[in-house]
Amino acid sequence: MSVSPTAPASFQPLDGSNGVPGDAGDVTDLARRYADTAAEIEAQAAQLERLTSRSQQGWKGQAGENVVEVAGELAERILTAKDRYAAAARALSHFGNRLDDLQRTAYAAVRNAQEAVEEQRALSSSAPTAPGVDATPEQLALATEDRRRHQDAVDAAATRLGDARERYEQAVEDYHDLAEEAARILREGRADDGLADSWWDKHADFLSAVLDAIGAIVLVLTIAALVIGVFATGGLLAAAVPVLMAIGAGLTAISFGGHLALWLTDNGSGADVLWDLAGLLTFGLGAGVGRAARGLTGVASRVGGRVAGASAGRAAFTSTGRSGLLYDAARRVPFGQQILSVSPGLRAAFTTADEQATAARGAVEALAMAPSTRLSRLLALGDRAPAQSFTAINQIITRVPDSEVAWALGRLAQGMTIAGVTAPGLVTGIQGGLDTYGDYVSEPAQEATDQKVRAEIVDQWSMPLMHLR
């Protein structure tokens, strides 16, 4: 085991404090403890895996399943910590093994510098005196030699001080390089151990709670829009429905972005992302269905209007005692009605028939703007555009039951409303309700139960695990 040398009492004249601090013995002891901890974690993980295997084979029922789940999860979690402890052991061992040599070099340099300074002080107080004016040539020569030797000693002390300073500064630089290298080893060991929490990991619970609250708000807005859309006949309340739906769509988009980010960072569920996406598509699909249904309703009203007009005109024409075949021929043959209208009697009959046909056609086409009913608004989940189309289609089909084209177009529009608005809205709404109930009622209760069961399992099996081999 490395043992740090004794530090000088003072680091003057080279430094104001110890430039290479630390205790090599303590560092290497800590490295060994970390290495032992990593080895123990690996051994305990192996014991937990053996317990999981035995429980799967011989312990059936919920208790056995809970033990398998807890033991397997615990083994996985503690194994992720092993690499971090092993990296810390390597970093500390690398640092501690070289710290002793660096400290010896630095401390020796400090002491050499202090000796050089003491020698400089002694030489300063013992400088040779200059010879007198009556000194003989021999005395002058001796004095010159003394001054030379004294200056050589002063220069040598300064050189030793400079050398000591260089060795100390190099030791301090090597110390910092060693510390940085040890830190690099530690960072590399921590980089992929799965324990470092990202920003998303640290805030995942808070973000999930916020997104749950957004989901609850969207559910409340949807219910409010449905109730208002079904029962309000006009005014500000009816005008509030599209506003509520727009707010719900915006919040759903925010929820989708949040759940997608959590899922991409392994902190959320892909199912939440899909349900939010379904909700967004429902809002968009509902608007598209509304426009398509209105278009089909317009076509159905015009087709139905033509059929109703033809039927009313024919009835009016035959009521004058004329043959219906004559009316049909006049409608289908180019210029047939103009030619037949040369006869005053037929002209009067055609005029009456045209008036009745125009009135019947206008009445059917006006049904395209029929107001929605509560039932249709309920089926359209409060969305007035598809609800109005739904009602109009029913009235057109009822008014013109013989028009197969109008019937087909109407049923297509109603089917689009049910498939594009009613069914997706009900599915996403029910799922939203279940999610809200789970977030605030059932899941907290289940979590409390699970924590109690896990605590009991840990208490029961923590001691046997220590002896399992």
- The pLDDT of 330-340, averaged and rounded, is 73
Please report, rounded to a whole number, the percentage of residues in the chain having pLDDT higher than 70: 68
Q: Report the C-alpha gap between 197 and 203 in whole angstroms.
A: 10
Architecture of domain 24-191: Up-down Bundle (1.20)
pLDDT at 327 over 80: no
Give the pLDDT confidence score for residue 416 in this predicted structure. Answer: 62
For the chain, the average pLDDT equals 75
Q: Domain ranges in the chain?
A: 24-191, 200-462
Cβ proximity of 30 and 98 under 8 Å:
no
For the cut 60, the answer to whether the pLDDT of residue 284 exceeds it is: no
| Average pLDDT over every residue of 47-68 | 56
Whether 469 has a pLDDT exceeding 70, the answer reads no
Render pLDDT for 87-100 as a digit per residue (tens, 0 to 9). 888 888 888 888 88
Per residue in 384-428, pLDDT (tens digit) is: 677 777 777 777 777 777 667 667 766 776 676 666 566 666 666
Q: Which long-range contacts (CB under 8 A, 24 or more apart) does 277-281 make?
A: 278/424, 278/427, 278/428, 279/218, 279/252, 279/255, 279/428, 279/432, 280/249, 280/252, 280/253, 280/256, 281/424
Contacts of 184 (CB under 8 A, 6+ apart): none
pTM (whole model) above 0.85: no
- Give the model's pLDDT for residue 465: 39
Higher pLDDT, 461 or 352: 352
